[in-house]
Amino acid sequence: MVLTDLNVGEKAIIEDFNNPQVELVMTDMGCPLGTTIELYHKTLSNGPLSIKTASGNLLAIRSKEAKNLIIRKQ
Amino acid sequence: MTTTTQALDIRNIALLGNPNAGKSSLFNALTGLNQKVGNYSGVTIDKNTGTWTWADGKTVDLIDLPGIYSLFAKSPDERVVLDPLFNLENKDRPDLILLVLDASNLTRSLLLLDQIRAFNFPIVVVLNMLDVATNRGVEIDLKKLEQKLDLPFVAINARLQSGLDTLEQTIQTLEPTLNTPASSALTEAWEQEIHQQIPLQNNFHAKLLLSQYEHLPFLATTQKTFLANIVHKYQLDLIELQTQDSQQRLTTLNAFTEEVASVPKNVVTLTERLDKVLLHNIGGYFIFFTILLFVFQAIFNLATPPMDWIENSFTDFSSWLATLLPESLLTDLLIDGIIAGIGGIVIFIPQIAILFGIISILDETGYMARVMFLTDKTMSRFGLNGKSIVPLISGTACAVPAIMATRNITSWKERLTTIMVTPLMSCAARLPVYIIFIALVVPSAAVFGPFGLQSLVLAGLYLGGFLAALISAAIFNKLLSRDIPEDNFFVMELPSYKLPQWKSVGITIYQKTSDFVWEAGKIIIALSIILWVLATYGPPTAMQQAEQEAIELYQKQPQIAESEAALIASKQLEASYIGHVGHFIEPVIRPLGYDWKIGIALITSFAAREVFVSTMATIYSVGDPDGTEGTLLDKLRNEKNPETGALVFSTATSFSLLVFYLFAMQCIATLAIVQRETKSWKWPMIQLAYMTALAYFGALLTYQLLS
């Protein structure tokens, strides 16, 4: 399952970013592998989506990257 | 990497922390208005320094380093943090680091602290944003946190300015026991190999050096080659190296946070409620466009009175100076070259100040990040980025600060594309040219209710510039794909909404305006002087002949000019070097519907586009160009081609000129900034070429279709 499959309000654990650069940026922003996230908002027509990390941060990510981001739904 | 132990005589303090951790609020609270903006050596990123005066009268220098999540810097503005830390010679090297922890994001901000501890700077930890943490239902055991950190520790509220006295006392009573970095052994073979050439204190230094060496200005070329060889020799995956380092730290720090703070409660914060409206899939865009409309309205309407005032003041000052000083070339140079040049810069200050004031307010509240989020999809279709929206909007005032605003775009390809297309946005300097030609050929009839035809044409020009920017961006993106690898991704934080802090809004306005005044100003003034020389001097006999002709002509037909002096000025401009250039380029611009007189005005526009209007006024011997727009308009309207008797400023020529000014890169200041930001002449030259081609063929097409 990937991040784009998640509905707003659903929670999941990040299992694989499949993009080393995105992984580095997200890790440094306090959202490494294994973080529990919640889908916060989806924009129209495959635009970026935003997630809420366990500590309440909101991070935005493009759906292109979100499609590669493997999650395990909780 | 050895650092010396110093006694705690603190003169230089650096502020470090995550973006949105309240670092700048603290900086503003501590320094008040005792701030200045400089540049980091070698790069063009604003450096904010200020003076902090203590209760005992002692003053210390405070430097506000850019907000970063991690020392593994990813963009030029993040990288400037590294030099003061690594480079012993750096003049900004701090005696003390104030590390701002974000209480609402404890683990993440501890990551930066953990990295900084690898350097042996004295550190004072400042805990901010406790109110946000409380709103999220997080309770922090401050005693325990301080104990576990084992560093001097102060809890503050930067917005309410509480806890600052304690902070001051803590720093004053600091004992000169240095933070000795955890000296982890250099276990890897590559770490040891680096250590033989460049002494390292710990393996974090090794990782930082390897991942950032290309951007560290203090490293010698031989050292950079050496480090490049290490990467190659050991086949190191630098991205993975950095990710693993941060990941390991975060695992430890997570456990740390769990001990000192409670987990956030499941509360619906104000930010979440606001986002329901502001990020709404339909309503959100509607609100954005409404705000955008308001921004443009403000740029034009609010800026008009101060702009008129500035224009009148400069005119008054010039005429006052003219009566005071003896009539001489030097006086001419002062008034028509230098003061006119300065006036041409100052006139744009109100628009730039208002625009950046609004952008700064939107940014401070956290809304700008939402705009980037909402527009990213549309922008990325054209090879841009959600973050391109700020440069593009800023471009409607002036491309110079707009291009500087691209620095936070991490993807080089998207940043370059944004830089290349931003000058197509219709800037404030184009407006006077638009206005005069629209007034010339578009009837002032009202159509579509409240909208006049003239304002619709004007709106069309702005929209045309925006569409041209988007289309050019898409083309650049295709072309650049061959040379620059796809590194575009978009990850950004959506900060919590907060009320703007007026002090920092004021500081942003001041910084952006002074950027413009100094960066664009010096070039515009230099060019104004060169153009003044070219327009004042010509082959001596030709100049005298021109004067003679004008005097005779005025005696015969005094009705053709406002005054004898105006007619002489007009004839002499024709005979001057610039007049020669105008004649010289006439064959090239003839197909666009322009004669040599317009040619002269096109050339003088290179100092600043709005100079077009005053040059036209001189050529048509209207005399003093200021305040005589009506006269100029009449002159232009009745100007006939001496051979054919046809109107010079026909609808076709006027629209051709509008299209030309819409697309043409007639701004040396912008080219200079593009050179500085891209560190090469290649990009400004390509920009000049493509925009000139766009302008030329656009104008050609317009003229040929309409005539």
What is the full DSSP assignment across B458-475?
HHHHHHHHHHHHHHHHHH
pLDDT cut 90: percent of chain B above it = 32
Q: What are phi and psi of B274, to 5 degrees?
A: -65, -40
Q: How confident is the model at residue B160 (pLDDT cuts 50, 70, 90)?
A: confident
Which residues lie closer than 8 Å to B381 by C-beta, 6 or more apart? B474
Q: Kindly tell me the burial class for residue B285, based on how many C-beta atoms sit within 10 Å of its own C-beta (0-12, 13-18, 19 or more).
A: middle
**Helix, strand counts (H, E) of chain B:** 34, 8
Does pLDDT of B465 surpass 60? yes
Give A43's contacts in chain B (Cβ within 8 Å): 279, 281, 373-374, 376-377
Note whether A40 contacts B: Cβ–Cβ < 8 A: yes
pLDDT-derived band at A61, boundaries 50, 70, 90: very high
Q: Please state the pTM of the whole predicted model.
A: 0.83
Chain A residues close to B490, C-beta within 8 Å: 48, 60-62, 65
pLDDT bin (cut points 50, 70, 90) of residue B99 is very high
Q: Do A59 and B491 touch (CB under 8 A)?
A: yes
pLDDT in tens, B442-457: 887 766 666 678 888 8
Q: Which of B92-101, B327-336, B519-528 has the highest mean pLDDT?
A: B92-101
The mean pLDDT of B330-334, rounded to a whole number, is: 84
Integer-rounded Cα radius of gyration of chain A: 11
Distance, in Å, from the CA atom of B100 to the CA atom of B68, rounded to the nearest integer, reads 11
SS (H, E, C) B300-334: HHHCHHHHHHHHHHHHHHHHHHHHHCCCCHHHHHH
B92 interfaces chain A, CB cutoff of 8 Å = no
* Whole-Å CA distances, B33 to B15, B37, B53: 17, 12, 12
Report residue B605: phi and psi, to 5°: -65, -15
Q: Do B246 and A28 make contact, defined as CB atoms within 8 angstroms?
A: yes
Q: What is the mean pLDDT of chain A?
A: 91
Q: CA separation (Å) from B443 to B143, B453, B616, B658, B660?
A: 74, 7, 22, 16, 21
Q: Mean pLDDT throughout B15-34?
A: 87
For B33-48, what is the mean pLDDT? 67
Given pLDDT bands bounded at 50, 70 and 90, which one contains residue B125? very high
Asked if the interface predicted TM-score (ipTM) of this complex is over 0.90, the answer is yes
Of A7-16, B39-48, B609-618, give the range with the top mean pLDDT: A7-16
How does strand B96-102 pair with strand B123-128?
Answer: parallel
pLDDT digits (tens, 9 = 90+) for B66-76: 899 999 998 87
Distance in Å, alpha carbon of A26 to nearest chain B alpha carbon: 7
pLDDT at B44: 59
Res B621: pLDDT: 59
**Total Cβ atoms within 10 A of residue B326:** 6
What is the number of other CB atoms lying within 10 angstroms of the CB of residue B557?
Answer: 10
Supply the pLDDT for residue B704.
Answer: 93
Both tokens assigned to B564? 């004898």
| Closest B-chain CA to A58 | B494
